[in-house]
Amino acid sequence: MYALKVTRAEDFPEWYQTVVRDADFAESSPTRGCMIIKPWGMGIWERFQQEMDRRIRETGHENYYFPLLIPLSFFAKEAEHVEGFAKEMAVVTHHRLKAIDGTLKPDPEAELTEPLIIRPTSETIIGDAFSKWIKSYRDLPLKMNQWANVMRWEMRTRLFLRTAEFLWQEGHTAHVDEADAMEETMLALEMYRSVVEEVMAIPVVCGEKPENERFPGADRTYSIEAMMQDGKALQAGTSHYLGTHFAEAQNIRYQDKDGGMSLAHTTSWGTSTRLIGGMIMTHGDDDGMRTPPAMAPRQIVVVPMLRNKPEDDELKQYCKALVAELNKGSALGSPMRAYVDEKDARPADKRWDWVRRGAPLICEIGPRDAAGGNVTFIKRNMLREGDKIKSHTLSRSDFVAQAPGLLEAMQKELFDEAKARLDANIRGDLTSFADIEKYYGTEDEDGEFKGWARVQWSRPTGAALEEVGTRLKALKLTIRNAPMAQPKSFGPCIFTGQPAVEEILIARAY
């Protein structure tokens, strides 16, 4: 009766929506394409923010906040950039409502002389500020970040993965030259890898995007790519070296040491609430979510097995004392986050709420545990033995002593499980395009698992690259990135037959 209404194998997309909704992550809102993020989803985003923000600061960036609305003319300055975003911009045209024939409408007398765009990303308005702030090489590097909401009007939306509004951080930096800007671009990518792998327990492949998948206006785009349980890739973070494109468009120049004027080299990089969707599709199982301990807003949840009897008070006291003791300790570098669920609901319902959310350790304490000084608990990442729920019992002092170690082990187990899946599902044996067609071109039952392929190519550009894209698209494939780790020698390009120069990953993707 408590199981999810659908399993991953039955219908992966439907399973995903079910987990998001039933595990208190988010729900659709009456505003088209936008979501309401609920406490467990929000708590996970806040954990991500803490971890990412710390790394951003420790590497010398400072937080700013720029306006939500950007004048339309700012976008027109960088042609590729505006082309990339114009089709999905929310446009503010009026600043007042008025009752017209009894109905509230935008007041025609309050039309803006220049429309304002809800930021889809902030390069243009931040670049404008950089052009004012940067005068000399002494002002460089300028390294900033902001946490913000952005809007891209998507036609087909899915909670967390693709929503019209999403939350993100966007880093923007300016540097004296390419070398310094490239170092920053790679530093940001490494920060992303670190948080996503070490905190979210999602293994990724770092690499460079091909020319046709670059951020609009970038010289080079790097990404971290994660494999979901249905074999699809999810781009989990991107870092862009923008060259001098935005500096030219917005006149970001500095006086160099010799007194001459030079263009700054800029970067930008971002991660978003999309990662929460990626985490669910990496770690969820048929009982709901399994939240990595380092990301869990509540790591240990204690459910008192109350029975509306006189003993209840004593039981509650026992649970509260246990939680107080746990919160004094420390796991994963910070005090453990333990919590007693005192909600007015049936204990079994509460237990399943926390199973679905994926609280790492769920303790169910009954009068017998309290009397015996014990703790009965389940480990969410290994919930079942066969079909049965597997529970463990320890003395209270042993549980308190072992909890940090249990959480650390679960963090590692979740990562290892996902890493093994990633490693096992990147095919290196598809050495011709015919092989690719054979593997990916076979009739797909809904949800049939297809992994990634590691193939070699000659890195064509322009029309030739476009043709590659078309051939892949016919198989619903895209190039994810060219991984940092490259082979020492190359065979022929699977697309052109010419000598290959690079290994790339191809996959179906979100």
Contacts with a copy of itself, residue ranges (CB under 8 A): 29-31, 34-39, 42-43, 45-46, 62-72, 74-76, 82, 86-98, 104-106, 115-118, 125, 128-129, 138, 144, 148-149, 151, 153, 165, 167, 344-345
**350 or 450: whose CB is closer to a copy of itself?**
350
Separation between Cα atoms, residue 80 and residue 249, nearest integer Å: 11
Please give the backbone phi and psi of residue 102, each rounded to the nearest 5 degrees, phi first: 80, 0
**Taking the complex as a whole, how short is the minimal distance between the CB of residue 94 and a copy of itself, in angstroms?**
4
**Taking the complex as a whole, how short is the minimal distance between the CB of residue 195 and a copy of itself, in angstroms?**
19
Q: Which residues of 5-25 are buried (b: 16+ CB within 10 A; e: fewer)?
A: ebebeeebebbbebbbebbbb
Q: How many residues does the chain have?
A: 510
**63 or 194: whose CB is closer to a copy of itself?**
63
**44 or 414: whose CB is closer to a copy of itself?**
44
**84 or 207: whose CB is closer to a copy of itself?**
84
**Taking the complex as a whole, how short is the minimal distance between the CB of residue 5 and a copy of itself, in angstroms?**
19
**Taking the complex as a whole, how short is the minimal distance between the CB of residue 140 and a copy of itself, in angstroms?**
10
**31 or 461: whose CB is closer to a copy of itself?**
31
Separation between Cα atoms, residue 304 and residue 363, nearest integer Å: 8
Q: Are 444 and 482 in contact (CB under 8 A)?
A: no
**Taking the complex as a whole, how short is the minimal distance between the CB of residue 61 and a copy of itself, in angstroms?**
10
Which has the closest alpha carbon to 381: 285, 238, 246, 277? 285
Helix (H) or strand (E) segment spanning residue 376? strand 374-379
Q: How many CB atoms lie within 10 A of CB 430?
A: 18
**Taking the complex as a whole, how short is the minimal distance between the CB of residue 275 and a copy of itself, in angstroms?**
15
**Taking the complex as a whole, how short is the minimal distance between the CB of residue 247 and a copy of itself, in angstroms?**
18
**82 or 363: whose CB is closer to a copy of itself?**
82
Place of tokens 């939350």: 167
> Pairing state of beta strands 35-37 and 111-118?
unpaired
Separation between Cα atoms, residue 205 and residue 424, nearest integer Å: 14
Separation between Cα atoms, residue 51 and residue 194, nearest integer Å: 10
Peptide bond into 141 cis (omega under 30): yes
**96 or 412: whose CB is closer to a copy of itself?**
96
